Amino acid sequence: MSDFKNLDPLLHSQLRLAVMSLLVSVQSAEFVFIKEKTGATAGNLSVQIDKLNNAGYIEVTKSFKGKKPVTTCNISKKGIEAFESYVNTLQSYIKK
C-alpha cells in the first residue's frame, strides 16, 4: 500500500471526490444541486464542504434569493490543481 502515499487524503473520500469532480466540470454550484447530484445528506455534505473549504480547495459563498438562504461552492485554483494531481497520480498507478 505504500504506493498510495502520494494520494491526497483529503480527496481520498468518496463524497469529497464527488464534490470536486462535479465542481471541476461546472466551476460553481449551489449546495442543493451538489446534494442532489451526490445523493448525500445535508449534514454529511456540509461537513465535507467545510473540509474542502478549510483546505482552500473550494470557496463557499452564502447569500439570499429573496428570503431563502443559498450556499454556493466555487472550485479554487488550488482545488483544480489538487484534483488534477490526484487524477494524475491514480493514472500513474494504473500504468504501473
Instruction: Locate all alpha helices (DSSP H) within the chain, ordered by sequence.
Output: 14-26, 31-38, 42-54, 77-95
In the 8-state DSSP scheme, what is residue 13?
S
pTM > 0.85 = yes
Residue 7's pLDDT is 84
Percent of the chain with pLDDT strictly greater than 90: 82
Domains of the chain as residue ranges with CATH: 9-95 (1.10.10.10)
pLDDT digits (tens, 9 = 90+) for 50-65: 999 999 999 999 999 9
- Answer whether residue 46 shows pLDDT above 50: yes
Residue 1's pLDDT is 45
Average pLDDT value over all residues in the chain: 92
| Separation CA 7–CA 12 (nearest Å) | 7
The distance from CA 63 to its chain's CA centroid, rounded to whole angstroms, is 20
